[in-house]
Amino acid sequence: MNSVFRALSDPTRRRVLQLLRERPMTAGELAEQFRVSKPTMSAHFAVLREAGLVVSEKQGKSVVYELQMSVLEDALLGFAQVFGWQFRSKKRAKQKRSVREAVGR
């Protein structure tokens, strides 16, 4: 989990994740959004890959990045549980509400 929080600690990497929420993008498309060198962007991509937040796939001469939400969700849920926050799925909450209503509570 430390690698995830390390990856999230940088504003450039957080912005990359925001962009990837919209759709998978090539390294070039992502790099166009920032005023940093290609080696710097490459380093950011490496940190995100090592944390498991993105996956990359070579397509011809391009590298396409895609967001891995499950890793991010797991990290955030683990973080929340440290503080005692509890989360339930909407489906589970609806089921509990239906049971309560059925028994008249």
Structure confidence by residue, pLDDT tens digits, 15-50: 999 999 999 999 999 999 999 999 999 999 999 999
Structure-token pair, residue 11: 């504003």
Euclidean distance between the first and final Cα of the chain, in Å?
Answer: 41
Lowest model confidence (mean pLDDT) among 65-69, 73-77, 87-91 = 87-91
Q: For the domain that residue 72 is a member of, what is the CATH number?
A: 1.10.10.10
pTM of the predicted protein model: 0.70
Domain that holds residue 46: 2-102
User: Are 64 and 24 a contacting pair, CB within 8 Å?
Assistant: yes
Angle CA 1–65–26, to nearest 5: 150
Q: Into how many domains does the chain fold?
A: 1
Q: What is the DSSP letter of 34?
A: S
The more confident residue out of 85 and 51 is: 51
| Mean of the per-residue pLDDT values of the chain | 83
Angle CA 83–79–56, to nearest 5: 170
